[in-house]
Amino acid sequence: MTTKIMAFGEVMMRLEASGYKKLEQTRLLEYSFTGTGVNVMAALSKYGYQTSLLSKLPETSVGNAALSHIRSLGIASDSIVRGGEQIGIYFLEHGFGVRPTAVTYTNRKESSFCQSSFDDYDLEKSLLDVSLIHFCGISLAVSENTRNLTIKVAEKAQEMGIVVSFDCNYRPKLWNATGVNARSYYERMLTLCDICFMTEKDAIYILGMETAENELTKQIEDLLVKVLEKYQIRTIAGTIREKKRETEQTIQGFIIQNKTITFSRKHTLTILDRIGAGDAFASGILHGKIASLSQEDTIEFATAAGVLAHTTSGDSPVSTGSEVLGLVHQSSADLER
Amino acid sequence: MTTKIMAFGEVMMRLEASGYKKLEQTRLLEYSFTGTGVNVMAALSKYGYQTSLLSKLPETSVGNAALSHIRSLGIASDSIVRGGEQIGIYFLEHGFGVRPTAVTYTNRKESSFCQSSFDDYDLEKSLLDVSLIHFCGISLAVSENTRNLTIKVAEKAQEMGIVVSFDCNYRPKLWNATGVNARSYYERMLTLCDICFMTEKDAIYILGMETAENELTKQIEDLLVKVLEKYQIRTIAGTIREKKRETEQTIQGFIIQNKTITFSRKHTLTILDRIGAGDAFASGILHGKIASLSQEDTIEFATAAGVLAHTTSGDSPVSTGSEVLGLVHQSSADLER
Amino acid sequence: MTTKIMAFGEVMMRLEASGYKKLEQTRLLEYSFTGTGVNVMAALSKYGYQTSLLSKLPETSVGNAALSHIRSLGIASDSIVRGGEQIGIYFLEHGFGVRPTAVTYTNRKESSFCQSSFDDYDLEKSLLDVSLIHFCGISLAVSENTRNLTIKVAEKAQEMGIVVSFDCNYRPKLWNATGVNARSYYERMLTLCDICFMTEKDAIYILGMETAENELTKQIEDLLVKVLEKYQIRTIAGTIREKKRETEQTIQGFIIQNKTITFSRKHTLTILDRIGAGDAFASGILHGKIASLSQEDTIEFATAAGVLAHTTSGDSPVSTGSEVLGLVHQSSADLER
Amino acid sequence: MTTKIMAFGEVMMRLEASGYKKLEQTRLLEYSFTGTGVNVMAALSKYGYQTSLLSKLPETSVGNAALSHIRSLGIASDSIVRGGEQIGIYFLEHGFGVRPTAVTYTNRKESSFCQSSFDDYDLEKSLLDVSLIHFCGISLAVSENTRNLTIKVAEKAQEMGIVVSFDCNYRPKLWNATGVNARSYYERMLTLCDICFMTEKDAIYILGMETAENELTKQIEDLLVKVLEKYQIRTIAGTIREKKRETEQTIQGFIIQNKTITFSRKHTLTILDRIGAGDAFASGILHGKIASLSQEDTIEFATAAGVLAHTTSGDSPVSTGSEVLGLVHQSSADLER
Amino acid sequence: MTTKIMAFGEVMMRLEASGYKKLEQTRLLEYSFTGTGVNVMAALSKYGYQTSLLSKLPETSVGNAALSHIRSLGIASDSIVRGGEQIGIYFLEHGFGVRPTAVTYTNRKESSFCQSSFDDYDLEKSLLDVSLIHFCGISLAVSENTRNLTIKVAEKAQEMGIVVSFDCNYRPKLWNATGVNARSYYERMLTLCDICFMTEKDAIYILGMETAENELTKQIEDLLVKVLEKYQIRTIAGTIREKKRETEQTIQGFIIQNKTITFSRKHTLTILDRIGAGDAFASGILHGKIASLSQEDTIEFATAAGVLAHTTSGDSPVSTGSEVLGLVHQSSADLER
Amino acid sequence: MTTKIMAFGEVMMRLEASGYKKLEQTRLLEYSFTGTGVNVMAALSKYGYQTSLLSKLPETSVGNAALSHIRSLGIASDSIVRGGEQIGIYFLEHGFGVRPTAVTYTNRKESSFCQSSFDDYDLEKSLLDVSLIHFCGISLAVSENTRNLTIKVAEKAQEMGIVVSFDCNYRPKLWNATGVNARSYYERMLTLCDICFMTEKDAIYILGMETAENELTKQIEDLLVKVLEKYQIRTIAGTIREKKRETEQTIQGFIIQNKTITFSRKHTLTILDRIGAGDAFASGILHGKIASLSQEDTIEFATAAGVLAHTTSGDSPVSTGSEVLGLVHQSSADLER
């Protein structure tokens, strides 16, 4: 039977100015629906898994369009509760060269999801037969309500024996706006999760940890092995980005299991659309775990998935498993020549 | 010197599905900025007046795009205060034939304008040299805050000797949502205004009036002449719509001054975009008043302006004064045959 | 539990010239995926049913896009088998006024579906828990292969106690091209089906029946009641179209059950996109049957669904149940005035 | 061998605002190339004739695009001389309902064509094997230069035994701007042409003729038979338009030969794009003449061609001969019912 | 008199997803018509030659659009036979960075061209006055029918004393699908042709040749000079591509005549649209031959034409001769600095 | 009070082919309005200044669209005179890689502006309260009329004590076409201006100066300090571009005041749209002058503004002051690492 995977989180509308225009230069916007959960599930459904989303959407034409879009990505929508009135929106103006991409959020806190309560969801039914559920740190940040909701859903999932995946996705700006200290919430999620996406920065800035190492890869190994042990996490993964020059970056993935760190080969990036690339990486790690790939194969697959997500339009990854493997092997082929 | 005219009110973003599609059928939206004030001022600037808007917009790329759009309509933006975070948005799905046009509002109460306070505005400066200021009943309905704000600005304008124009624009759905009784607020605005846009329905449903007349035109005359006298309003105007069949409507304007009602000729409508047509009618009445046209000329101009606004895209009227006159005269020509 | 409904049939790509252009006038085409089965299921999923499609699509990027589109319509894709190489395509040039809409088919016989065999499908699994399955007469016409396949699937469905629905959709052009006599195949489907969509023309031209009646409604009643009895069909339904003048048509639905015919009220049509309107009508009848509506309510709902489908873009109906009811009631409201 | 037909005249760029927008409401324009000659030749190439254009275009990317567009219409471009610097442009804003279509010309007099001289063209070579050449009255109006050029080319054509066709296309606005009296130039063309497109208005306003008849069809017959005789023209044809109401017009064609007038049946129009419809009518008459159709068949074909041209986008007719015949016969079918 | 050049081959429809989207991410496709013959002729008509295409297209609106498009490229369509029902289509999804461009073919074997027979064409008439005719190896691969057809047309052309040009365009995938050995067919074409486009890979994989050389340029010289002699070919030309890194390639052309190889300078490529670049190179060689350029000038022109074709949209080259020369000279200028 | 800045100059329509297409490859053009004055004012209004344009536009729908567009950029339109009939147009085909961008001008000399006379403008009123006025050398070149007009307006401005800014913008092609010697006109403008934009090339080719220096930066310093002294100019500024390879350029700004030259840091360019970048640089210098920034801060701001203008669509700069500062500081941040 196909493995069932779920994500819990917000669905947002993405409204982007065409080409490389600023909003004021165009009267046409292209739209789609997104969110960490949507993106990770979209990628996993491309790899052949049965995926679904646990969220809440308004009963309006905008909510209907969101539902239609989510389904088109191959994600089941039966666990999406309907109600409330609004959906978070973000406006996207693509940058070019030295000009950065600009994002304007609107209406996030008033969204159906952000105002949903634990009782809105029928978890017994929704989580039935689910093997793995993915959470995102942004849900912790948005509001007091989603903060508590996220933890309660994660607790319920753990209780039901479901593998819990958590992407730290720490956004200082959102936390500062709330005036709440992020640490205790993150620590709760870390004890609940089996798979965690984080970097050395999260260990330092959220958990207040320190390291005596100087080199970046050493810092990562030192800090995150400690995190792995302290919070009894089975897998920690993340990426290292380096900016080479104006238009050239490199990306390298790492994965830690059983206190051992493995790095992927380093890819040079060509960026079409940066947003959602971290979610593609996460989806690759989850695939590696569920399909019981080796630690090496897992990190190569996940990093290649992340790299490809920079070369496709939209937040949600659209590369199939065989396209990702194509990049994994092309590279090794390149090395063999 | 050119006459300065101002409107006070909300700026909203209009996001419309292309063609006659529903949101879920397209990924492209066309956007513009609108609002009663924007629309009435846009029309008046087409007739050659110096117009400006008193409102509040966020300091974001969306706010910048709104500003740019408003200026492109010929409306001065110096009285638009910047601040807050959001802007109201409405999604538009154009109907076709028997299928009605559908509108989905989002984020209205959280908009910069709806959360603005009296002190945000420098009325002494903004209202300087202004001859006429236009208000809309929707501002009364949206929230407690805008309700009081609108009345205070109208009071200030009256105090400064500025002609006050008020369009009732009664939206029962919005009022019911607030649980507040509309009547006292409307009565306050009626005592403040010199020019009022309303119909017999407003007299009955808002003011609780009654009439013994049976025929519609008689009811209008009976009720609205009473309103004119009771609230000491100089001019009341409005339109009568009749649906002939599926795709055919007629529209006829009326104006009441000195207890005398004058009707325009009846136009048959061909509708491209219905939204904003009432604002075009209002702009025509205001033009007639400022330019001291005769009662007949005023109502013919205003009704023709309203008719033309049904034949142009977007909320904001784009017909010039000479285009409106073209329709006024074409019709009389038609009658002569 | 939600009722499960299925359709068996071809998925085609629709490529349409923008606006009212001919192909040679534009370089932009809008595309979607369609087919009788897709359309009827799309409509039923809008009314809240769990729907799915039994078909075959190639494992190419075009097949993937078809799958994504079908899911976006709310139709489950688990019973869609992958394989073969091609998909039927039709080019659409929208007519205007007296200029008719033009359709150019390509590549139909070579499609994955039209070349699929009975063994490609796992009917035991796909038909499990299905309450009703819908077939279309076009599948009988396209090729010898689909002809036999359709009948075998219908037999299997009947065997499993599933309600069988059949839309005659008689296309003389396709049948003439094959040189095969349609009658015996249609007779086989009539004995297998519980619900049948047909008109007096089908009885005359396919089944070779005759009537002594002169008036159209009498002819329909006479002929189709005989069909109902002869083939032991529970429900027969269809529509009557009348062309009033260049741009005005009327449509009226009828339904026959227990030898009794009921007519809907007559609607005047405004046509945006004619294709798929018959499928919307069929979906309305199926809804009436499953939801056990009265014969009157069923035919009013179905006819209104068909009318609305003329006012929306694309082949697949997109009106919700409440939008259809809106039109049903608006009309009765109109009558009451 | 296929008959060779040619037109002499200006090529203009048409830049149209998308949808029913005014220029200021959009930033997207669709463009094409047009002109009476282009339009008449495009239609005739659709009917299977070998057509070409005698004109002059600049050697710029705009000129290249014009050439490419003209060829795409099936018109040979070997007689188009290259040189000069500019091309006439017109901006088109589509009207809707009571709002008229608006056209803004620019740069016409400075165009390569309008500044071309007789010596630019190699008439011996270009006119070789040509059976018929079409001229347009606008060429007479634009400038002194084109006025003389047109007459010289027509004289040369007559000299070479080529059938000369001339569409009066009288534009008072253009003539008034020049201060030149149109009559003598028109009279010269009338003596040169074999086929002439004109109406009773042309006889009255250009040629200063009078009639004692009251009814329109009688006036046409009276005046144009006189013109036929006076200038020794073989065929005169034209159309009669009647505006029924806001959105409904009728059109009826007439043709005069051997002092006999024949009228086509009256068509009711649905207008998508009015421009170029007269050219489609002219092309139908020319086809009737070249193919030696009967007077009745010629005027029915030409009028149907004109009607269809109202239902297609763009100036240039795109209906094939069989599509025109479809409308001719559909109508007679309609009459038989 | 202008030299007449012809190509024999298939016309395909190219349907491309907008921007860098995958099919499933968009509902808009841009389309054009293409094929090796179309592309080479389009380029040559840009250099001022009289070009035409020998092919077959269906009598449908799609066939009409193809004809119109081909003419717009400056290619004469008189030798295009009409008939059959279909046209090959390919779907294009543009790659970005490390993500490769993806092409999905459909309906190729069923196309009018691929099912056309020798008798469909009137070669005596079509080939009259033609100086050179171009063939493509893909025609050999598609089906038994086109294989034989191509050879028969080439034989006829040789018989009539027309220069025969042949581009090997070896596609192992297509050949493997047929199970036919390519060698004998290629050998036949090599004996028929005067100009051949091939690389060292073709000599090795198609003709089974071997070389003792190690360096690529030496291998090319060794193998292709042998081919030149063995098959009595006057000119062999081809290109060498090197991938420098992710987004950087170089391209260099070579030409062999009289046993002498000449290389062009090496260009660094910036790729907008790779498809059709080989055809632009071929057109440059043909131009060099017809215009009797020196071997050096020929290979510089052809390589520059190929480089420019990477920088323009669409399969068909659109650069003029002077634009190609611009790049030829700019580069030498660059070297002088 | 906000500083008032004005520009005098032509408004042109820019019509660009979509994507990287040539005109003949598309039927869609995007349009905007531009001109040196428009661009410099647009940028300055983004930095918070009150800007306006002194120009002339026709009273047509094209002129209205221009006015609307100019206002949308935040530029006041009260000093734009209406009249005349035409507007200059340029067609833009974006280059890609080695393929250069192509521009085709049309109709320039016949534009309302180019045919406007000194008396068309009410300079007393328009220049009132203006602190600075910007001129462009292209106005000197276009025609005798604009040549004299520009100088008269500059003289009037100087007379009224307004700071005069002048961008040499020397276009040899335009001057050669007129056959007039540019030098005396430029010398007159140099004596009138306080701020001048020029490079060493202008000194050499326009003013006929010479230098003994070999290195470019030395040549600039040598020549332009002499110009500064000779013509009593307070500030001279310009940029140095270096082409590194195919797709990489660097740009560096310089400013000369009190005989001292200051260079900005060198930026590496990524080019989206080159046109208008020089105007962005000029706007930055003007901002530095008006806001009394240091010489270093001024040149860094101006160069960063120029760099950003290469990364945005359209001629008119759209970056805000804080976005420009973002690039200024990011770079210094980059240096600190």
Q: Tens of pLDDT along A215-246?
A: 999 999 999 999 999 999 999 999 999 887 66
Given this model, what pLDDT does residue E246 score? 60
What are B155-176's pLDDT values in tens digits? 999 999 999 999 999 998 889 8
Given this model, what pLDDT does residue D246 score? 60
What are C7-34's pLDDT values in tens digits? 999 999 999 998 899 999 999 999 999 9
Residue F49's identity, in one-letter code, is Y
D73 touches chain E (CB under 8 A): yes
Q: In angstroms, rounded to a whole number, what is the distance separating the alpha carbons of residues E261 and E235?
A: 10
What are F60-90's pLDDT values in tens digits? 999 999 999 999 999 999 999 999 999 999 9
What is the average pLDDT score of chain A? 93
For residue D22, which residues of chain F lie inside 8 Å, CB to CB? 61, 64-65
Min distance E246 CA to chain A CA atoms (Å): 8
Q: In angstroms, rounded to a whole number, what is the distance separating the alpha carbons of residues B237 and B302?
A: 10
List chains adjacent to chain E, taking adjacency as at least 3 C-beta pairs closer than 8 Å: A, B, C, D, F
User: What contacts B170, CB < 8 A, 6 or more positions away?
Assistant: B137, B141, B182, B186, B201, B202, B205, B206
Q: In angstroms, rounded to a whole number, what is the distance separating the alpha carbons of residues B268 and B248?
A: 7
For residue E97, which residues of chain A lie inside 8 Å, CB to CB? 269-272, 310-311
Min distance D51 CA to chain E CA atoms (Å): 13
User: What contacts F304, CB < 8 A, 6 or more positions away?
Assistant: F264, F267, F284, F324, F325, F327, F328, F331
Nearest CA in chain E to C84: E106
Mean of pLDDT values over A7-28: 95
Residue E1 has pLDDT above 60, yes or no: no
List chains adjacent to chain D, taking adjacency as at least 3 C-beta pairs closer than 8 Å: A, B, C, E, F
What are E171-222's pLDDT values in tens digits? 988 898 888 889 999 999 999 999 999 999 999 999 999 999 999 999 999 9
Residue A31 has pLDDT above 70, yes or no: yes
Q: Chunked in runs of 10, what are the mean pLDDT values of chain C (337 residues)?
A: 88 95 95 97 97 97 97 97 95 93 88 95 96 96 92 97 97 86 96 97 95 95 97 97 76 97 93 92 98 98 97 95 93 37
- Alpha helices by DSSP H, chain F: 36-46, 61-72, 123-126, 137-142, 144-159, 172-178, 183-192, 200-205, 216-230, 277-290, 295-309, 321-336
- For residue E297 the two structure tokens come to 């000038």
DSSP A3: P
**Closest CA relative to residue E315, chosen from E28, E24, E62, E103:** E103
Q: In angstroms, rounded to a whole number, what is the distance separating the alpha carbons of residues E188 and E177?
A: 21
- Cβ contact A318–E25 (<8 Å): yes
User: What contacts F177, CB < 8 A, 6 or more positions away?
Assistant: none
F329 touches chain A (CB under 8 A): no
Given this model, what pLDDT does residue E107 score? 76
- Cβ contact B72–D96 (<8 Å): no
In which band, very low, low, confident or very high, does the pLDDT at E77 lie, cut at 50, 70 and 90? very high
Mean of pLDDT values over F134-153: 94
Secondary structure of residue F143 in the 3-state scheme: coil
Say if CB D55 and CB D81 are below 8 A apart.
yes
Given this model, what pLDDT does residue E174 score? 86
E294 touches chain C (CB under 8 A): no
In which band, very low, low, confident or very high, does the pLDDT at B335 lie, cut at 50, 70 and 90? very low
**Closest CA relative to residue C64, chosen from F301, A74, A333:** A74
Min distance E256 CA to chain B CA atoms (Å): 53
For residue A26, which residues of chain D lie inside 8 Å, CB to CB? 27
Residue D331 has pLDDT above 60, yes or no: no
Picking from B64, B67, B72, the nearest residue to F69 by CB comes out as B72
In which band, very low, low, confident or very high, does the pLDDT at D336 lie, cut at 50, 70 and 90? very low
Name residue F88's beta-bridge partners.
Answer: F12
- Cβ contact C71–A69 (<8 Å): no
E215 touches chain C (CB under 8 A): no
Given this model, what pLDDT does residue F140 score? 95
Say if CB A261 and CB A253 are below 8 A apart.
no
Min distance E277 CA to chain C CA atoms (Å): 21
Say if CB B29 and CB B17 are below 8 A apart.
yes
D22 touches chain B (CB under 8 A): yes
Min distance F42 CA to chain B CA atoms (Å): 11
In which band, very low, low, confident or very high, does the pLDDT at A179 lie, cut at 50, 70 and 90? confident
Nearest CA in chain A to B30: A28
For residue D73, which residues of chain E lie inside 8 Å, CB to CB? 68
What are F184-211's pLDDT values in tens digits? 999 999 999 999 999 999 999 999 999 9
Say if CB E8 and CB E35 are below 8 A apart.
no
Min distance E270 CA to chain F CA atoms (Å): 5
DSSP F96: B
Nearest CA in chain A to F271: A97
- Cβ contact D311–C24 (<8 Å): no
- For residue E282 the two structure tokens come to 């071929």
D289 touches chain E (CB under 8 A): no
For residue B26, which residues of chain E lie inside 8 Å, CB to CB? 27
In which band, very low, low, confident or very high, does the pLDDT at B129 lie, cut at 50, 70 and 90? very high
Residue B101's identity, in one-letter code, is T
What are D79-119's pLDDT values in tens digits? 999 999 999 999 999 999 889 999 999 878 889 999 999 99
- Cβ contact F62–D87 (<8 Å): no
What are B65-84's pLDDT values in tens digits? 999 999 999 999 999 999 99
Min distance A272 CA to chain D CA atoms (Å): 25
Chain B interface mutation, best of A18, A21, A31, highest count of B Cβ atoms under 10 Å = A31
Say if CB B99 and CB C311 are below 8 A apart.
yes
DSSP E219-271: HHHHHHHHHHHHTT-SEEEEEEEEEEETTEEEEEEEEEETTEEEEPPPEEE--
Q: In angstroms, rounded to a whole number, what is the distance separating the alpha carbons of residues F302 and F296?
A: 10
- For residue E221 the two structure tokens come to 């010289």
- For residue C283 the two structure tokens come to 């979906």
Say if CB D273 and CB D266 are below 8 A apart.
no
- Cβ contact B26–E27 (<8 Å): yes
| Phi, psi torsion values for C292, nearest 5 degrees | 55, 45
A74 touches chain C (CB under 8 A): yes
In which band, very low, low, confident or very high, does the pLDDT at D245 lie, cut at 50, 70 and 90? low
Which of B121-130, B226-235, C323-332 comes out lowest in average pLDDT?
C323-332
List chains adjacent to chain A, taking adjacency as at least 3 C-beta pairs closer than 8 Å: B, C, D, E, F
- Cβ contact C270–B25 (<8 Å): no
What are B259-269's pLDDT values in tens digits? 999 999 999 88
User: What contacts F308, CB < 8 A, 6 or more positions away?
Assistant: A98, A99, F280, F317, F319, F323, F324, F327
In which band, very low, low, confident or very high, does the pLDDT at F334 lie, cut at 50, 70 and 90? very low
Given this model, what pLDDT does residue C274 score? 85
What is the average pLDDT score of chain B? 93
Query: Cα–Cα–Cα angle for E81, E83, E87, nearest 5°?
Result: 95
Min distance B266 CA to chain E CA atoms (Å): 43
For residue B318, which residues of chain D lie inside 8 Å, CB to CB? 22, 24-25
In which band, very low, low, confident or very high, does the pLDDT at E245 lie, cut at 50, 70 and 90? low
Beta-carbon neighbour count of residue D226 at 10 Å?
Answer: 15
Q: Based on the number of CB atoms within 10 Å of its own CB, is B74 exposed (0-12), middle (13-18) or buried (19 or more)? A: buried
Distance of CA E303 to the CA centre of its chain: 14
Mean of pLDDT values over E105-129: 93
E17 touches chain F (CB under 8 A): no
Chain F residues 87-126 within an 8 A CB cutoff of chain E? 95-100
Distance of CA A24 to the CA centre of its chain: 30
- For residue D280 the two structure tokens come to 């489609």
Given this model, what pLDDT does residue D332 score? 40
Given this model, what pLDDT does residue A247 score? 61
- Cβ contact D72–E68 (<8 Å): yes
* Cα D240 to Cα D95, D199, D311, distances in angstroms: 22, 8, 18
Count Cβ–Cβ pairs < 8 Å, chain C vs chain D: 43
Nearest CA in chain D to E67: D72
DSSP D120: G
